[in-house]
Structure formats: structure tokens, C-alpha cells
Amino acid sequence: MAQATDPSRSQPATLTDVARLAGVSVATASKALNGRSQVRAETRQRVIDAAERLSFRPNQLARGLLAGRTGTVGLLTSDLEGRFSIPILMGAEDAFGAGAVAVFLCDARGDAIREQHHVRALLGRRVDGLIVVGSRTDPRPSLGREVPVPVVYAYAPSEDPADLSIVPDSVGAGRIAVDHLLACGRSKIAHITGDPGYLAARERALGARSALADAGLALVGEPRFGVWSEGWGRAATAMLLDQHPDIDAVLCGSDQIARGVMDVLRERGHRVPEDVAVMGFDNWQILTSASRPPLTSVDMNLEQVGRAAAHALFGAIAGARRSGVEALPCRVVIRGSTAPLS
């Protein structure tokens, strides 16, 4: 018997095989397996047993061909390497994987030509929708309105306001970061951040200033833009301490910068968090938990961004199209580098 039904040798069983084994027509077999009502219980069981014995698995291609929907979506990332894409991708995969939807992964490597190529390939495979994941929060060109399936942009919003984009709320992130520092009793807060060419850097700075202004305060000096590296964090901190030795908090544009900041603070004899509180952005586990003390950081909830994008795409496929940019809140993860001023 094992030989007769050995699935590794033969082609996968088809519904016709199941029907023949059960002694019914393919139509009846289909109805039996899909729980339709026009089948006698005894017949249904016979079909189910036959399907089991043949380890029958419906051919989704044939099903999709007929139904018009394939139960697949395309996940188009512009930069797989970037650490921001991965959590979004996980969230989306999670939201889809729970249902009966499979995800095509494509990496365009930041190349518009390659992206176009992937879109065409995905449309040829009749995906039901697309999620476009960017590697930074700056707006990106739209795929265009003539794409015949719904598209949702995640992390990097589309330039076309008619598209739907799901992004983290960078302004709000800057605001809640400062709120936390204020709650810790800090008032002389400096901001060392990354490349001003990044919208995220500018928006976080904007949010931080706005929250300070609401409290009747201001940043110590201007925000110090630079690059996203520990080295810049170290250099900027040295300059900062020369000009303003009396700061009691440094809000850093990224965890990497924060790590550099903390190193220089410690070398110069400032205690963290007793004298100076330090905060980062991104909540990058490997950095926050390895630093001494562990780093308080703002998490962008990227998995949630991915899940929200997946759900939005679901909705759009079902006909409920939205548009515009939807910003999701971030959250402060408190660790040892911030504490109330005693």
C-alpha cells in the first residue's frame, strides 16, 4: 500500500483521483471537501477519506485561475539589508501567514528599474495586492495609479496622497522622548542626531522642540545633525560638553549615536543617568542591552507598522480603500540610562 500511494514518486493527486477512489464525480468531491451542503454525510466522509489516503492538496493555481483571486501578495522591499525593513516584513508576514495568504518577497535594492521589473513579475503572477516597504521614512515615488491591484506603502510613504501609506509617527516620537526626559526632571536637554537629509532626523528634532516649547523650555543649543554613527556621537558630545558642561540630558537621534555619547560622557566623568540622562531612538536590542547602563530608547513599533499595512491591504482587497498617510504611535522603552533627577 505504501508503494501504491507513495506521493514522492507520482505527480500530486488531483481531485479527479480523489473522486475516482471515492466513486463519485469530481463535482461531488469538490463539494464534499469544501463543506458545501449538497452532499450526503456518508458520501462526504468517503471523499474525505479518499483525499486523506492520497494526501490530496487542492491545486491553488487552478483554484486561483477560476476565482480571480490568488491568495498571494507581493512584498516589495527596497533594501532587505536595512534593519528597518525586517521587523516590518515580519509583521506583515505574521498578519498574512495567519490566514491563507502567501507572500512573495522581492528586493529591489533601491533600484527603480529592478523595482519595476518585480512589479511586472508580480502582476504576472496575479497577486491580489502589494506592500511596498521603504528603507527610510522619506517619501518615495508612487508605483502609479494604473497598478491594477491595491498597494500599501509602509515606512516610506508614497509621494502621491491618493495612495495609502503607513508610517511611524516620527514627530510624536520626538515628543514622547522629551516628555519622558521632562518627567525625569531634566530641563537642560541637548539633541545630537544623524544625517539631516533624513526626514526622520528632522521630524524627531521637530517633535522634541515642540514638546519642550509646550513646557516653556528650549533645547540647549541647536540640534546637532551629523551622521548615524557612534563616532559622530562621540565627537558631538565632546563639543557639546565644551560649550555646555551643565546639561542634564542628551537625546540622541539613534541608539548608535547614544552609544558614542555615553562613552564620552563616562570618559569625562559624567555619570549616566545620575548626572546626565541619555536616550536613543530605534530600540535596537543589540545596542540598548549591551551599553552600560542599558539604554532607554524610543521603539518605532515597526512590527505593528507591518501588521497594520497587511491589514490595510486586506481591507483594500476587500474593497475598503483608504488613502493618505497614517502615522502610528511610537513608544518609550525605559532602561537604566534615564532616571528621575534625585
When asked if residue 123 is in the footprint of a copy of itself (CB under 8 A), the reply is yes
Contacted entry of DNA, a copy of itself, none for residue 317, CB cut-off 5 to 8 Å set by kind? none
Contact present, 22 and 50 (Cβ < 8 Å): yes
Contact present, 151 and 132 (Cβ < 8 Å): yes
Sketch the per residue contact string, 159 through 198, with a copy of itself: x for CB under 8 A, - otherwise: ----------------------------------------
**Where do runs of H (alpha helix) occur along 199-301?**
199-214, 230-243, 255-267, 285-288
Stretch that binds a copy of itself, among 15-23, 34-42, 44-52, 144-152 (CB under 8 A): 144-152
User: Which residues, numbered 193-212, are part of the site for DNA (CB under 7 A)?
Assistant: none
User: Which residues, numbered 52-71, are part of the site for DNA (CB under 7 A)?
Assistant: 56-59, 62-63, 65-68
What SS3 class is residue 132?
Answer: strand
Q: How far is the CB of 219 from a copy of itself (least distance, A)?
A: 26
In this chain, which of 3, 8, 34, 342 binds DNA, going by CB under 7 A? 34
Written as one letter, the residue type at 227 is: V
Contact present, 327 and 300 (Cβ < 8 Å): no
Contact present, 213 and 178 (Cβ < 8 Å): no
User: Which residues, numbered 55-74, are part of the site for a copy of itself (CB under 8 A)?
Assistant: 57-62, 64-65, 68, 70, 72
In this chain, which of 213, 290, 318, 320 binds a copy of itself, going by CB under 8 A? 290
Stretch that binds a copy of itself, among 7-15, 35-43, 198-206, 270-278 (CB under 8 A): 7-15
User: Which residues, numbered 225-244, are part of the site for a copy of itself (CB under 8 A)?
Assistant: 229-231
**Where do runs of H (alpha helix) occur along the chain?**
15-22, 26-33, 41-53, 60-67, 85-97, 112-124, 170-183, 199-214, 230-243, 255-267, 285-288, 302-317
Stretch that binds DNA, among 12-20, 73-81, 151-159, 319-327 (CB under 7 A): 12-20
Stretch that binds a copy of itself, among 102-110, 129-137, 180-188, 214-222 (CB under 8 A): 102-110
Return d(Cα 306, Cα 123) in angstroms, integer. Answer: 21
Q: How far is the CB of 65 from DNA (least distance, A)?
A: 4
Return the DSSP state at 269: T
Q: How far is the CB of 70 from DNA (least distance, A)?
A: 11
Contact present, 326 and 155 (Cβ < 8 Å): no
Return d(Cα 212, Cα 235) in angstroms, integer. Answer: 25
Return d(Cα 228, Cα 209) in angstroms, integer. Answer: 20
Contact present, 82 and 108 (Cβ < 8 Å): no
When asked if residue 106 is in the footprint of a copy of itself (CB under 8 A), the reply is yes
Nine-digit cell at 301? 513599533
Written as one letter, the residue type at 294 is: P
What is the binding site for DNA (CB under 7 A)? Answer: 11, 14-16, 23-28, 30-31, 33-34, 36-43, 56-59, 62-63, 65-68
